């Protein structure tokens, strides 16, 4: 038997610990039940209890009145004091019993078990010729050869209190079960939401990273949590996509130079003498290795920037001056292809790291130089809220506009354009570090040509 009790207790404990929704539901029900219990107790203390205490106080005052009367009257006159009707309307009864056993008053008996005043105790009596019992409450005291009993008919008050207690018990029982209804609703709502989250997590565990939690646009707490989780999943999916893209890009970018290096080494192994061709092959091998190292160094730099998070090196700066410096450096390069650069900027103060912002702007101008044809036009616009750099080149197809910020991603699949596919990736990292958001699109929407990148500057704090 004891083993069964132990096992049952262990099962209940385990269930209680595992099912947090049931714990929450029961906790809500208990709190509502306690609230009703406190309300009932307060009603009792402020209504019924003061009535009972008031009756008891009147009774004790009557006892004090009798004691005062005995001090100013002869003991033989005490029975006549009972004719005083001062307390009759308030239901106060007085009974005297002399040492000889004679009883004076409205009762024909004198209970001997009553406590001494001011302690009160209820007792039953038969009044008059009635066969019904009445419940009185009173006490007794001694004075001048008499035992004095004072009592009050509080039966209706006791009945009221008993009725209130019975009603309170019924109300508390009903309240507990009624309180389970909102608890059940809360539990059902939470279970529904958590089931959606569990379903999405299960799908993600199976590799379906496009799964998202359904939202109802109610903007309640659960809807906000769903939006936060979906945003996190978007970031995770984007990161995984970028990793897959980086893997493919590395395979493309490294296969070609490594193949060239292998072929040139084979040529060198077969060379019988040191000729100019041999020297050229060695120089090309060194250049290929330099390109590989430059690619990996750029990737390491990007990783370092992504993990910085420390903005203690940020200073107040004028972004327009950095734009002017970057444009001055890029103009010589743009002139090689007879490309023109126009600048429309106004002073904008923000906090940032000057060298990183310089590289961000220069990389965008260098990107325009690489992918725009000769005589192209490049334009920079700076306002208090946005930095826009656009050109009238071929632009980027719409299905690739969200991918060009990924590492090693290149719209030129043939890899004929010089570069490593890391310039715009650095732009994205630096923009994120400075709390900027990026929009990519066409500079000429109708023709869907031209490249336009918009950087939304962070709002000034304070």
312-331 residue pLDDT tens = 778 889 999 999 999 998 88
Chain centroid offset of residue 384 CA: 34
pLDDT of residue 87: 44
| Number of H-type helices and E-type strands within the chain | 10, 12
Say if CB 65 and CB 86 are below 8 A apart.
yes
**Cα(141)–Cα(68) distance, integer angstroms:** 13
Q: Following DSSP, what letter does each residue of 197-235 receive, concatenated?
A: HHHHHHHHHTT-TT------S--SHHHHHHHHHHHHHHH
Domains of the chain: 212-307 (1.10.287), 309-456 (3.30.565.10)
Q: Is the dihedral of CA 396, 399, 404, 409 positive or negative?
A: negative
Provide CB contacts within 8 A for 277, sequence distance 6+.
Answer: 271
pLDDT of residue 161: 81
- 350-377 average pLDDT score: 88
Which pTM does this prediction carry?
Answer: 0.47
Q: Following DSSP, what letter does each residue of 278-308 receive, concatenated?
A: HHHHHHHHHHHHHHHHHHHHHHHHHHHHHTT
Report the range of poorest mean pLDDT among 87-96, 114-123, 334-343: 87-96
**For the CA atoms of the chain, what is the radius of gyration?**
47
Q: Which is more confident, 296 or 378? A: 378
**Cα(278)–Cα(271) distance, integer angstroms:** 7
Q: Following DSSP, what letter does each residue of 45-103 receive, concatenated?
A: IIIIHHHHHHHHHHHHHHHHHHHHHHHHS-GGGHHHHTT--TTGGGTEEEEEEETT--E
- 229-241 average pLDDT score: 77
47-82 residue pLDDT tens = 777 777 777 777 777 777 776 766 665 555 566 555
pLDDT of residue 272: 58
pLDDT of residue 456: 92
Say if CB 180 and CB 27 are below 8 A apart.
no
Of the segments 104-113, 166-175, 202-211, which one has the largest average pLDDT value?
Answer: 166-175
């Amino acid at each position: 038997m004891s083993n069964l009790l132990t096992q049952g207790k262990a099962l209940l404990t385990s269930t209680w610990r595992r099912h947090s929704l049931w714990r929450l539901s029961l906790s809500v029900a208990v709190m509502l039940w306690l609230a009703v219990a406190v309300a009932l107790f307060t009603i009792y203390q402020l209504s019924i209890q003061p009535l009972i205490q008031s009756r008891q106080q009147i009774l004790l005052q009557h006892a004090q009145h009798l004691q005062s009367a005995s001090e100013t009257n002869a003991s033989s006159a005490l029975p006549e004091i009972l004719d005083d009707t001062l307390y009759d309307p308030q239901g106060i009864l007085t009974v005297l019993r002399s040492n000889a056993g004679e009883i004076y008053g409205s009762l024909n008996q004198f209970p001997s078990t009553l406590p001494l005043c001011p302690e009160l105790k209820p007792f039953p009596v038969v009044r008059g010729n009635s066969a019904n019992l009445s419940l009185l409450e009173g006490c007794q005291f001694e004075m001048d050869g008499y035992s004095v009993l004072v009592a009050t008919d509080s039966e209706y008050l006791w009945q009221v209190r008993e009725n209130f207690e019975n009603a309170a018990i019924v109300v508390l029982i009903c309240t507990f079960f009624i309180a389970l209804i909102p608890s059940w609703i809360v539990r059902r709502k939470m279970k529904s939401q958590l089931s959606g989250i569990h379903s999405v997590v299960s799908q993600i565990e199976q590799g379906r990273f496009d799964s998202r939690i359904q939202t109802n646009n109610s903007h309640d707490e659960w809807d906000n949590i769903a939006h936060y989780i979906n945003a996190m999943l978007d970031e995770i999916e984007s990161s995984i996509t970028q990793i897959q893209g980086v893997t493919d890009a590395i395979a493309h970018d490294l296969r070609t130079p490594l193949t060239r290096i292998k072929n040139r080494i084979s040529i060198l192994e077969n060379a019988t003498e040191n000729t100019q061709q041999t020297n050229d092959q060695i120089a090309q091998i060194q250049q290929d290795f330099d390109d590989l190292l430059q690619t990996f160094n750029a990737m390491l730099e990007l990783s370092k920037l992504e993990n910085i998070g420390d903005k203690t090196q940020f200073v107040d700066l004028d972004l327009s001056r950095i734009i002017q410096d970057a444009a001055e450096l890029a103009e010589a390069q743009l002139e090689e292809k007879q490309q023109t650069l126009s600048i429309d900027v106004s002073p904008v103060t923000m906090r940032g790291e000057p060298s990183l912002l310089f590289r961000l702007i220069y990389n965008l101008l260098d990107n325009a130089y690489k992918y725009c044809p000769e005589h192209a036009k490049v334009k920079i616009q700076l306002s208090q809220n946005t930095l826009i750099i656009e050109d009238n080149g071929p632009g980027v197809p719409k299905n690739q506009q969200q991918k060009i910020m990924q590492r090693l991603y290149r719209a030129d699949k043939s890899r004929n354009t010089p570069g490593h596919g890391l310039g715009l990736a650095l732009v994205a990292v630096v923009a994120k570090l400075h709390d900027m958001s990026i929009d990519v699109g066409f500079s000429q929407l109708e023709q869907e040509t031209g490249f336009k990148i918009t950087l939304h500057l962070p709002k000034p704090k304070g």
